[in-house]
Amino acid sequence: MKKLLTFIVSSALALSLAACSSQSTVMESAAAAETTEEISAETEAVTETAAETETSADTNASEETAAPEEASEEGVLAAYFSWSGNTEQMAQMIAEETGADLFEIAPAAPYTDDYDELLDIAQQEQAEDARPELAAQVENWDSYDTVFVGYPNWWSDAPMTVYTFLESYDWTGKTLIPFNTSASGGFGRSLSRIEESAAGAEILEGLDLTESELPDAQNRITEWLTGLGFSR
């Protein structure tokens, strides 16, 4: 009988110890799982933060690359009065070399095609210091920083139509560069009068070509423009 009781008690103790051991193992496994989940969550948070930081840095760098500083471009105009076509030819060459816009200075009432009659008209306009009305005006004048002004030599001066053009605009802060065609007289007395009519302009060295020099106009114009800083 004692042996039986001893066996029963021993079995009960063994079962109790096994149950405690099993419960302890389950609790330890659960704790380990929670610890693993916490570590995994923290790892993911750190990874997400690093990814956000890297993405933000890449975005800023991309924005800086996509928005370079824009260089300003100066507007250039080649305005000319031409009766025979020689001055117009020079203006076209200047425009090709510099990318300038072209504008023809033309009187509202066109001049005669008769050369002898034209000389009389030109002399009369000079005597009267006339300002013939223009056929058109320059659009967007304020967009031009540099203006080439071309004309033929009429009685050692510019045609009066050119002075109408000069006095129609505000030249403050602009650069004026004259060019001229003639039989042999060059600019004559026109440069001093241009300075008066285009008050406020900075006037740079001009180019005058005689009829004998016109065949070499392209080379002369290129050399002149290069000296002014307009080389391509």
The tens digit of pLDDT for each residue in 122-155 reads: 999 999 999 999 999 999 999 999 999 999 999 9
pLDDT given for residue 43 in this prediction: 38
**Total of domains in the chain:** 2
Residue 19 and residue 60 in one domain: yes
Residue 20 and residue 88 in one domain: no
Residue 93 and residue 203 in one domain: yes
Residue 118 and residue 49 in one domain: no
Residue 106 and residue 186 in one domain: yes
Please give the residue range of the domain that contains residue 10. 1-71
Residue 15 and residue 56 in one domain: yes
Q: Can you state the percent helix, strand and coil of the chain, rounding each to 5?
A: 55, 15, 30
Domain finish residue from 71, 100, 122? 71
Tokens of 10: 């021993």
Q: Are β-strands 76-80 and 202-203 bridged in parallel, bridged antiparallel, or unpaired?
A: unpaired
Closest CA to 134 of 102, 166, 158: 166
Residue 20 pLDDT > 90: no
Q: In 3-state terms, what secondary structure has residue 203? A: strand
Residue 124 and residue 43 in one domain: no
* Angstrom distances, CA of residue 224 to CA of 15, 82, 89, 188, 230: 113, 20, 16, 19, 9
Residue 126 and residue 194 in one domain: yes
Residue 10 and residue 27 in one domain: yes
User: Looking at residue 122, which CATH number applies to its domain?
Assistant: 3.40.50.360
Tokens of 166: 């000069």
Domain finish residue from 47, 71, 95? 71
Domain finish residue from 71, 89, 114? 71
Residue 1 and residue 103 in one domain: no
**Per-residue buried b or exposed e for 178-196, using 16+ beta carbons within 10 Å of the residue's own CB:** bbbbbeebbbbebeebbee
pLDDT given for residue 73 in this prediction: 53
Read off the pTM. Answer: 0.69
